[in-house]
Copies of this chain bind each other. A is one copy, B any other.
Amino acid sequence: MSQPLNVSVDAMGGDAGPGIVVAALARSAQRHPNVRFLLHGDEAVLKPLFARRAKLLERVEIRHAAERVRMEEKPSQALRRGRNTSMWHAIESVKNGEAQVMISAGNTGALMAMSMFHLGTIEGIDRPAIAALWPTKRGQSVVLDVGANVECDAQQLVDFAVMGEAFARAILGLERPTVGILNVGAEDMKGHDAVKGAAQILRRVNLPIEFCGFVEGDDISEGAVDVIVTDGFTGNIALKTAEGTAKLVVHFLRSALRRSLFGRIGALFASGALNILRRKLDPRASNGGIFLGLNGVVVKSHGGTDALGFASALDMAIDMAKAEVIPKIVADHAAATPALAPAGAAVS
């Protein structure tokens, strides 16, 4: 039997409201018999949702929070006035050790600001990044940052490489994940100062990282490397562009099949295969951005997700806690720090 695990949940985040969160807990509770949930939110709203879920309620503790962070709120504002919100309380549960991991489908900026305020960053890490799992021809890759930092310097990108590599080892079970920096070309001279500087550091210093240099946009889906490092502006746009493109291709496929009788017959015969494709491309299956660089595990579910999507983000949060990713990142980053010191003494 594995260790008991407490998951702290912000019930009030996301567009769909707490109904999908409770439905997701029901799924997750079945899959993870040893997990308990601290559910933060408006008691008057949450309690009725358990009216027919007495068994689930045995594993859920409802913690009342009178307020919620609104989706359009500025991070600084949420931080100032947010002490009574479900998000604030949910993060506090990780800070004070009651829970090992926190999850929310709420306002990303506010979640990052509150997480940094409560949990702090790992020693030597300037700013956390949001990591995403990306389906590829060879399985899955880790892409970070997908939205926390719109501008990044070379040192931050190097931090992302160290964190992403530790994450890939822990979550993808790879012994020696390969790491690449996203750029507009593979040649050394390509790109702006931040990516060139980060590549120089990663090539020169003696880190235990399998650094493969620059990769381009189409290398992500190829699975050319296991960890793709980029700034949060580029990463966010790449991720959403990929989601949009996958939808577009399915749209083209559907309208092509509908255009002829043979197409419609073919679609009937191939309905099993088309369902496999649908599941494979379901954005809910890889829902969840992981905040890396904090002294604690925080997972952000997509704001527009449903119960299935929230449940898969919950799965990832539980995997994260079980794999003890944070201690691994702390150890790796501490080991890398002498090599990364500005003096650059530890060049290989």
Contacts and interface: CB of A to CB of B under 8 A. Distances in A.
Contacts of A151: 192
Nearest to A241: B217
A237 B217 contact: yes
Contact of A184 (B236, B249, B263): B236
A244 B222 contact: yes
Contacts of A263: 269-270, 272-273
Given A265-B269, A266-B267, A249 B216 contact: no
A221 B233 contact: no
B269 A74 contact: no
A281 interface: yes
Interface string A173-200: 0000000001110010111100000000
B270 A147 contact: no
Contacts of A136: 248
Contacts of A281: 249, 252
Interface in A256-272: 256-257, 259-260, 262-263, 265-272
Contact of A251 (B72, B137, B217): B137
A324 interface: no
A53 interface: no
A269 B265 CA distance: 7
A243 B242 CA distance: 9
A45 interface: no
Contacts of A257: 270, 273
A272 B264 CA distance: 11
B233 A191 contact: yes
Contact of A248 (B135, B216, B234, B240): B135
A346 interface: no
B272 A269 contact: no
Interface string A124-139: 0000000000011100
A244 B256 contact: no
B238 A219 contact: no
A286 B151 CA distance: 31
A150 interface: yes
Given A216-B237, A239-B217, A266-B267, A276 B247 contact: no
Contact of A253 (B74, B217, B253, B271): B253
Contact of A218 (B230, B241, B250, B276): B241
A218 B233 contact: no
Contacts of A256: 273-274, 276-277, 280
A245 interface: yes
9 contacts: A150-B184, A150-B190, A184-B237, A220-B241, A222-B244, A253-B273, A256-B280, A265-B270, A266-B266
